[in-house]
Chains A and B, each alone.
Chain A
Amino acid sequence: MPDILESALRELKRHKWQTVAGVAGYFLACGFMVAMVLMLRHDLQAKNATVNYMGNKFLAYAPMTIADPASSPDIRPLDPLNEGFFAEPNVSTSLLPLAMAAQIARIVEVDAVTPFLLYRLKNSQDGHIFSVGGVKPADRHALRGTLINPDDVINGVFFRSEDRNVVLVDKSYADLWNLKVGSVVNIGGTLFPVIGVLSSQARVTRADVYMNWPDAEAALSRRLTGPVRDLANIFLVETSGAETTASAMQKVQQLMQQGLTRSVICSLPAVKFLGLSQNTLKLVLLLLAVLVLLISMNSQWSSVAARRHEIAILKAIGWKTPVIFGQIVAESFLVASAGGLSGALAGFGVFRLLVWQLGATFNAAYLAINAPLVILIIMLLTVLAGVAAALLPAWRAATTRPADVLRSSC
C-alpha cells in the first residue's frame, strides 16, 4: 500500500499540470458546493424557522351560515347586529362542543390544542366594539404559540387557572383606552380589574381582552339567549411541524365536517415553496455531483489512455493487475482529496464572505456544528466521487494487454 501511494504521488508530480487541473476541478466543484449548500441551508433554515413559527399553528372553527341548522340555534346574541362569536373580522362562527378538543388532540400530527371563546362585544357605556377572548391558562403549551403566554406580559401578571373576575388586556387596546394594571373593564355590565397588559407577537388570532374560561362563560352567557356551557367557537391547534400542518388540518376538517368547518392558515404556500426549494437544492446538488463524477471519469479515462503504453511496460516488467488498478484509484483519491479539502475550506471562506457582505447573522451552533458537518460531508462525497470516477479507467488500465500495446508500438 505505501508503495502504491508513493507511485501514485510520483506520477501526480510527473504530470503536474494535469494534476493541477484535476485538483482545480475538484477545488471548484467542492468549493462551490460547500458555499452554495451552506448559504442555501441557512436560507432554508431561516425560512423554515419563520414558517415553523406560524406554519405549525392554525385555528379551526365552524363559520356560521344562515342556512346552517346546526349553528347553536338556542344560543344567539342578544344584540346580533353588534355582537356575536367570530373568528375573523367578517366571519361569524357557530359554537362547537368543547369535547372536540380531546378528539383533535388525538390526531397524530397534533402537538397541542386549546379551546377559545372569541366574542365581539359592545361596550354598554360608550358603545365601542371590542373583542373578548376566553382562555384556559392551564393549556399553557397550546396557548404559548397560538395566542398568549406569560412572556407577553409587559405590565402586571399573567393569569393563573384559579384566578377569577380579572382580565388581561392587549397593549393596543390598553393604549387606545388608557388602561393600566388596576384599571377596570366593563364586560356585559360587570367590571373586571386589569391584572396585566400583554404585547402578543405574531399569533394566529387575538382579542382585546382576555378572561379566564369560567369568567368568559359567565360573562358571555349574560349577552346571549342561552348559557355557554362546554362550548367553544374556535380551537387553537399546534402541530408537530409545518410539514404536517396540512395533513393535520385535513383531519381536523374531517372531524368537524358536520359544522362546515374552515381552517385558516396563511403559511401553506410558504411551506410548499420551502419544500420546492429543498427539492431544487437536492436536485442541483445531485446534478452537480453527477457532473463532477462524469468529468472526473472523463479526465481519468483520458489520463489512462495517454499512459496506456507506460502501463503496458509496467505490466511487462512484472507489475500486477491489482497494483496498476490501485495506483490509478490512489491517484484519483489523492487529487480528489487535495481538491476537496482545499475547495471545502475555500467554500467556507466564500460563505463567510457572503455572510459578511449580506450582514447576515448566524448562531454559534450553526457555525460550530452545522457548517463543519456540511463541509465534512461534501468533502467525503468529493473524495468518494473521485474514487468512483477512477474505478472504470483503473479497470481499463489494469486489464491492458501489454502484448497488444507493445506489439503495436513496435
Chain B
Amino acid sequence: MALVKVDNLSRTFVTRGAETRVFSDVSFELETGELLLITGRSGAGKSTLLGILSGLDRASGGRVFFQDVELTALPLNELADLRAGRIGMIFQNFNLIPTWTASENVEAVLMHQGISKADRQARAAALLTDLGLGERLHHLPSELSVGQQQRVAVARTLVNEPVLILADEPTGDVDSETAAEITSLLMPRIRSGKTAMIVASHGLFDASLATRVACLKDGRLVMA
C-alpha cells in the first residue's frame, strides 16, 4: 500500500472567465522512507501541487489517496485533522507567526487537540532543545537568525511526528550551511522509514538526497 497515490491530478485556475491550466495528468506513488524531489521553474505549479496534497487547495480533476483515504473527497475539517496529525508542512519563507514565541509556534500544532497545556509546552521544549534552540524557547521569530527560524519551522512540522512531510523550497531562502543543517534535521526521519517527504524546489535542494526526482514542466510531471 502506497503512502501517497496521485492519480491523474489536474489543476486549472479560472480568472475573469479565462482558464489557465497549471498541470494535468499528474500521477505518482510514494512510499514511506522515500524523498521525492519535484523540480521545475517558478510558476510551474510545484507549490500548487503541494497545496493539493496537503488539502489546502482543491484539485480540478483526478484523485489523491493518502494511506488509502481519498484526500480529494474529504471535507475541509477532516483535511485540517490530517494536517494537524499526519501531514507536516514546511514553507519556503518559514511562515512563523511573528508575534508568537518559538515555543508557541511549535505548540500551535498541538492546540485544540485535547492535549494539555503542560504537555504541549513540554513536547515543544523537548523538540526545540533537540534542534539546538533550548535557549531560544521564548524568543520571537524576529529575535532569531534565519537558520534558527527555519529550525523552529522544522520543529513545528515534526512535533506531531507526521508520516508525510511536504516541503516547499525548504532551503530556498537560506545559505548553504543552513540548508545543510535543515536537511540534516529531516533526513534521519526519512531514512528511518517512518516518514516520507515531498520537496518542491527549483534547484536549490540537494538532489542527491532524493530517492526520486521529478520535473514539473509544461503542466506535466516527468519522472527523471
Contacts and interface: CB of A to CB of B under 8 A. Distances in A.
Given A402-B56, A409-B93, A316 B111 contact: no
Interface residues of B, number: 32
A15 B99 contact: yes
Contacts of B104: 10
B112 A410 contact: no
B85 interface: yes
Interface residues of A, number: 27
Contacts of B97: 310, 313-314
Given A410-B92, A410-B93, A319 B51 contact: no
A247 interface: no
B55 to A, nearest CB: 9
B74 interface: no
Interface string A365-408: 00000000000000000000000000000000000011100110
B57 interface: yes
B126 interface: no
A309 B95 CA distance: 9
B56 A316 contact: yes
A407 B112 contact: no
B105 to A, nearest CB: 9
A323 B117 CA distance: 17
Interface stretch (B76-84, B142-150, B186-194, B209-217): B76-84
Contact of B77 (A3, A313, A321, A402): A321
Contact of B108 (A4, A314, A410): A314
Contacts of B168: 410
Nearest to B106: A317
Nearest to B94: A313
For A7, A15, A320, A323, the residue with the greatest tally of chain B CB atoms inside 10 Å of its CB is: A320
B76 A319 contact: no
A315 interface: yes
B56 A317 contact: no
Given A10-B104, A323-B112, 15 more contacts: A3-B112, A14-B99, A313-B96, A314-B97, A317-B109, A318-B80, A319-B111, A319-B112, A320-B112, A321-B77, A402-B56, A403-B57, A406-B95, A410-B47, A410-B168
Interface of A: 3-4, 6-7, 10, 14-15, 309-310, 313-323, 401-403, 406-407, 409-410
26 contacts: A3-B111, A3-B112, A15-B99, A313-B95, A314-B97, A315-B56, A316-B83, A316-B89, A316-B95, A317-B83, A317-B89, A317-B156, A318-B81, A318-B84, A318-B85, A319-B80, A319-B108, A320-B76, A320-B77, A320-B80, A321-B76, A403-B48, A403-B57, A406-B91, A409-B95, A410-B93
Interface of B: 47-48, 51, 54, 56-57, 76-77, 80-85, 89, 91-93, 95-100, 104, 108-109, 111-112, 117, 156, 168
